[in-house]
Amino acid sequence: MIIRRHGSPSHGSLLKVGRLVDAYLAEIAPDPYLSLPKFIAMIEVLPDYARVIDDGLYRAIDIYLKAHPMLSEQECKKLCKYIDCQKLSQEACNHAAQNDRLPVHLVVRVLYFEQLRLKNALSGSCGDGLLSQKMSSSGVASAAMSPRDTYACLRRENRELKLEISRMRVRLSDLEKEQVVMKEGMMDKSSGGKTLLTSISRGFGRMGIFKGQEGGRGKQHKSGLGSGKKLQPKEGKSGRSKRYSVS
């Protein structure tokens, strides 16, 4: 373990030790002769801040509950109080929400935090301070309802929130597809316009070349006709002179 100058272990070292301790707890949890006080003493070896995520601790406690089905309700509550619902991952929350071995009040708490996460995913504007404020303000409502009723209500609301998130994801996927189609259409239109302009410019160029050739040929034809007219009288004059000279 890395020790700093002031004598306290570094936080990274504590996290590594925490993972090792949780793995060890999961190894010894199936032992039917392991008493609850000894198991709790092993959990309390580490401080709370040594665990950023409680998934390993939740797994070890769940294994212990499964291997010791004769625990009373009070003993289960005493053991499960070490699980921090805010430190559970989404996968662990989904498992805990359907875990019959956990006390009802813990499942309700897990469902409540899962509901807040779903609402945060929909709104994206709820911070940690507001999260804790909502959790503390919900004490009156949860006290007015029985744990079973609160459990059923939260399960129903969470299902509705999950459906709403699924609909939003489908809608987002459709919008992304529409955006791709629109971009492809704009690219096709721009390339089609360039092709049309190119063909028109080529057509004008060919017309100019043909006009130049036709003009040159016309000039040559006219010059040939003019020279022919001039040559005829010369030939006639030369013929007359020859006849006069002979006679």
The residue ranking higher by pLDDT, 237 or 42, is 42
**Three-state SS sequence of the chain:** CCECCCCCECHHHHHHHHHHHHHHHHHHCCCCCCCHHHHHHHHCCCCHHHCCCCHHHHHHHHHHHHHCCCCCHHHHHHHHCCCCHHHCCHHHHHHHHCCCCCCHHHHHHHHHHHHHHHHHHHHCCCCHHHHHHHHHHCHHHHHHCCHHHHHHHHHHHHHHHHHHHHHHHHHHHHHHHHHHHHHHHHHHHHHHHHHHHHHHHHHHHHHHHHHHHHHHHHHHHHHHHHHHHHHHHHHHHHHHHHHHHHC
What are the extents of the domains in the chain? 1-89
Whole-number percent of the chain with pLDDT over 90: 23
Average pLDDT over residues 25-45: 94
Annotate 212-221 with b (16+ C-beta within 10 A) or e (fewer). eeeeeeeeee
Entry pTM: 0.51
Average pLDDT over residues 217-232: 49
The residue ranking higher by pLDDT, 34 or 205, is 34
Give the rounded distance of the alpha carbon of 34 from its chain centre: 45
What pLDDT sits at residue 166?
A: 67
The residue ranking higher by pLDDT, 47 or 209, is 47
Average pLDDT over residues 134-160: 56
Per-residue pLDDT tens over the stretch 210-219: 555 555 555 5
Query: Residue 10: is its pLDDT beyond 60?
Result: yes
Per-residue pLDDT tens over the stretch 52-108: 899 999 999 999 999 999 999 999 999 999 999 889 988 888 888 888 899 888 888
Which range has the worst mean pLDDT, 94-98, 161-165, 175-179, 224-228?
Answer: 224-228
